[in-house]
Amino acid sequence: MVHTLEADVALIHVAGGGARITPPPGTLAQTAPRRAARGRRSEMLFVNLCLVPQQATPPGLLDHLARLVTQAYYGTPGSVTYALREAAAAFNDHVVDTNKGEDEDMHLQGHMMTGVLREGNLYLAQCGIGQAIVVRPGQVTRLTSEESAKRPLGLSLTPHIRYHHLEVKPGDLLILTTSPPPVWSDATLSGLSSLDPVQAVDRLGAASSHDLTGLLVRIVPYGEATTPLEAPAARRPSPTETRRTAQIASRARRRPSGDVAQRALTSTSELLNTVKHTIRTWFASATHAVSRMITRMAPGLAEPSLARTSSPGLLATTAVAVPLLVVTIAAVVYFGRGKREQFQAYLDQASAAVQVAQMKSIPEEARSDWDTALHLLDLAGTYGHNQEADDLRQLAQDALDALDLIIRLDFRSVVSGGFGPEAHITALAASATDLYVLDAAHQIVRRAWGTPERGYEIDKTFECLTGPDSFPDMGIPVDIVIQAQPGALGVEGMVAVDQDGTLLYCAPDRQPAQAQLTPPDIGWGRIQAIDVFGENLYVMDTETNAVYIYDATGGLFSGNPSLFFVEDVRKLSGAIDLAMAQDELFILYADGRLDRCRRKYEPASGDSRRIRVECDDDLRFQDDRPGYEATTHIPSAVPVEMAYSAPPEPSLFFLDTFSNSVFHYSMRLVYQGQYMAMQPFEGEISALTLGPPNDLFLAVGEQVYHVQPRR
């Protein structure tokens, strides 16, 4: 992956009523280290941590935890949101361990705001109190979660995280802070657009009335950053900080607790002491025997001046050899017996947690016990593995899946070998017999034909987009859709569109045809997504803030477009996808919100008709599970794409990059379930589509998988 954007960064540190020049504790910005995990090399990470109460927190501890969070993120392969979750878990585990054995009044609460810049995408994660502010010319966007603010880190084994995702471009300004909102007025923030990061931080410090830490990030084209991202320089901790960090590190080793664990440690300690005593006795006997043998062979060495001393070489060898021998044998004993004891201790505790969960009559009340069992099994897995652990894990996972309505499906590869080496599939379109696959990395559209029952195979004779030079006027398509028969080419086929409105019609056994959408009067901004319903093509242009409708004339989408929104125009800033569901238009935004709108025709003067658009304000996702409330976004999800499933069971499907899964909602936005693979995918899901009658297709890397969802 090639860098396209980077960041200028300035650190925010306000204390004692004024701005400080010293780096704020627990705050850093860093690019990927040399040995970053797969998929992390082109990303930039921003971290701001806070522990409450602050008087019980040494500054060096926050810096240590910030580096720990960074290491956890860059050491975790997979999706951005999965790595952010692992980073939050690392911070949470340390706070939980610190709170053990402390008075409840001294318990710490952790707050974390993190951001990741990856190409033109910005991913944010909030744990506890915090906020992200995006400043653009004439626009201030505040991203925060009251639900997360009420659930700081350190209070449970599983961190609660609220994710946000948005597209960024050069000139955008981002502020991350663990300070509760609001802090600055819109007027203050709007004035930052024309300032460099250092000047902007000075203005924020002057406008703040209380202490805070954070980061200010200016997005710039790659190669134009003036402040390189680096980890903060390490400093020598004070004795108090050293003791506190040592306590956390000791607890972070996760020694077993309970009688079983104590017996394991006691037994191991006694064994090591026995081994050391045996080694010392044996070495003394061996030394004495060698000395007697040398004396007999060379009587001159038995002179008093020599008999009482050893040579310096022998003394040095002894001083080095004995500790090494003791450590080696002790390590062998530990790895042979100590690890088995610790594995069994965690396994026994997990089994006990499962038994407690099974005894509770109300399933929801057993959730924390099932979570604890999985956590203990994860710890046991670091020391060993057996069938009993697998059975307990399956039992706990099935119980939690039942509580969360998670359905694990057996996804199968559409074609063996995938759709080309190093393919990057960004869009899919499926009919009852055909699957079209867009490889944006190589600018290729491929067709696979068949059915899920008898399998698919790639159509090697299919003529369509075959590379950047196959259709010089065609840019990289932003979306592809199915066009029903007769279509532009006389049969059912596919339509691709690039961001400038260039169309490409493709169908089996037909020569492809290229065309150009008639641009609107104000011209094109940037086409984000398209959809086809009936004989109409719907085109969403987020830069011109419009959704255009094109009629099919002779199968070709031509003529001047009409506007979907005539009077009450929605603000499409941040919109990433659209879907037509019968007579309703759904628009998905990067922050997880959803718009639902309908066009209605009303009689006007004479024979004319007036178009009125009705949109649902404050549209909310409903959830009938205990403890869930209606929210404006899918809980704990970062949806990046959606698809509409036609009758007989009309519904909406959302691709979530956080869990690498698909959420299913009814047309009334009532939660129906979450679809996950039985065996986790090796990469991040990059596209989804639905094909009749009830087939779900997902793209992962160069592969496409399909399954028929069940409930």
**The predicted structure's pLDDT at residue 284:** 52
Q: Give the burial string for 255-265 (b: 16+ CB within 10 Å, else e).
A: ebeeebbeebe
**The predicted structure's pLDDT at residue 657:** 82
Q: Which CATH class is domain 5-251?
A: alpha beta
Helix 259-297, helix 312-333: angle, nearest 10: 150
Q: What is the DSSP letter of 232?
A: P
CA distance 95 to 79: 25
How big, in percent rounded to 5, are the helix, strand and coil portions of the chain? 30, 35, 35
**The predicted structure's pLDDT at residue 265:** 43
CA distance 711 to 706: 16
Q: What is the DSSP letter of 522?
A: T
Beta bridge partners of 449: 434, 457
Three-state SS at 212 = strand
Element (H, E) at 97: helix 80-99
Element (H, E) at 266: helix 259-297
- Would you say the pTM of this structure is higher than 0.85? no
**The predicted structure's pLDDT at residue 443:** 92
Cβ atoms of residues 449 and 457 within 8 Å? yes
Category of 435 on φ-ψ map: left (φ > 0), alpha (ψ -120 to 50) or beta? beta
Q: Which residue has the higher pLDDT, 340 or 388?
A: 388
Q: DSSP string covering 176-200, please?
A: EESSPSP-S-HHHHHTTTTS-HHHH
Closest Cα partner for 536 from 601, 502, 499, 585? 585
Radius of gyration for the alpha carbons in the chain, expressed in angstroms and rounded: 32
Question: For residue range 321-335, what is the model confidence (pLDDT) as tens digits?
Answer: 666 666 666 666 555
Beta bridge partners of 552: 557
Q: Which residue is it, tokens 């927190």?
A: 57
Question: For residue range 604-638, what is the model confidence (pLDDT) as tens digits?
Answer: 666 667 788 888 888 899 988 887 888 888 877 88
- On the question of pLDDT at 451 being above 90, the answer is no
| Cβ neighbours, 10 Å, residue 213 | 24
Q: Which CATH class is domain 408-707?
A: mainly beta
Q: How far lies 345's CA from each of 126, 339, 354, 387, 517, in Å?
A: 34, 10, 14, 16, 67
Six-digit token pair at 115? Answer: 């951001």
**The predicted structure's pLDDT at residue 196:** 82
Q: Is 525 exposed, middle or buried (0-12, 13-18, 19+ CB in 10 A)?
A: middle
**The predicted structure's pLDDT at residue 606:** 64
CA-based max dimension of the chain: 133
Q: Which residue is it, tokens 């971290």?
A: 47
Question: For residue range 160-185, what is the model confidence (pLDDT) as tens digits?
Answer: 898 888 888 899 999 999 999 888 88
Q: DSSP string covering 106-144, please?
A: G--EEEEEEEEEETTEEEEEEESS-EEEEEETTEEEEE-
Q: What is the DSSP letter of 302?
A: G
Nearest-10 Cα torsion for 114, 116, 120, 121: -60
Domain ranges in the chain? 5-251, 259-404, 408-707
Q: What is the DSSP letter of 43?
A: -
Cβ atoms of residues 163 and 123 within 8 Å? yes
End-to-end CA distance of the chain: 38
Least confident segment among 67-76, 193-202, 555-564? 193-202
Kindly state the average pLDDT of the residues 248-258.
38
Three-state SS at 549 = strand
For the chain, the average pLDDT equals 82
Question: For residue range 453-489, what is the model confidence (pLDDT) as tens digits?
Answer: 778 899 999 999 999 888 988 988 999 999 988 888 9
Kindly state the average pLDDT of the residues 374-399.
90
Six-digit token pair at 468? Answer: 């950047």
Strand arrangement, sheet containing 477-483: 477-483, 493-498, 502-506, 513-516
- Whether omega for the bond prior to residue 486 falls within 30 degrees of 0, making it cis, is yes
Q: Which residue is it, tokens 């860098």?
A: 3
- On the question of pLDDT at 35 being above 70, the answer is yes
Q: Which residue has the higher pLDDT, 344 or 242?
A: 344
What sign for the dihedral angle of Cα 29, 32, 37, 41?
positive
Six-digit token pair at 65? Answer: 């935890």
Least confident segment among 9-18, 271-280, 358-367, 583-592? 271-280
Three-state SS at 222 = coil
Q: What is the DSSP letter of 568?
A: S
Cβ neighbours for 241, distance < 8 A, ≥ 6 positions apart: 58, 59, 60, 61
Q: Which residue is it, tokens 């006691």?
A: 266
| pLDDT bracket for residue 233 (50, 70, 90) | very low
Element (H, E) at 706: strand 703-707
- On the question of pLDDT at 309 being above 50, the answer is no
Cβ atoms of residues 495 and 481 within 8 Å? yes
Beta bridge partners of 704: 699
Three-state SS at 240 = helix
CA distance 354 to 347: 11
Six-digit token pair at 641? Answer: 């794409």
Question: For residue range 98-143, what is the model confidence (pLDDT) as tens digits?
Answer: 888 666 667 889 999 999 998 888 999 999 999 999 998 878 889 9
CA distance 531 to 540: 9
Side chain identity at residue 454, one-letter code: R
Question: For residue range 650-679, what is the model confidence (pLDDT) as tens digits?
Answer: 999 999 987 889 999 999 999 999 999 988
**Alpha helices by DSSP H, 298-311:** 304-307
Q: DSSP string covering 580-649, please?
A: EETTEEEEEETTS-EEEEEEEEEE-STT-EEEEEEE-TT--BB--STT---BSS-TT--EEEEEEEPTTS
**The predicted structure's pLDDT at residue 364:** 85
Cβ atoms of residues 398 and 419 within 8 Å? no
**The predicted structure's pLDDT at residue 262:** 43
Tell me phi and psi for residue 305, to 5 degrees. -70, -20
| Cβ neighbours, 10 Å, residue 60 | 19
- Looking at the chain, how many residues does it have? 711
Q: What is the DSSP letter of 90?
A: H
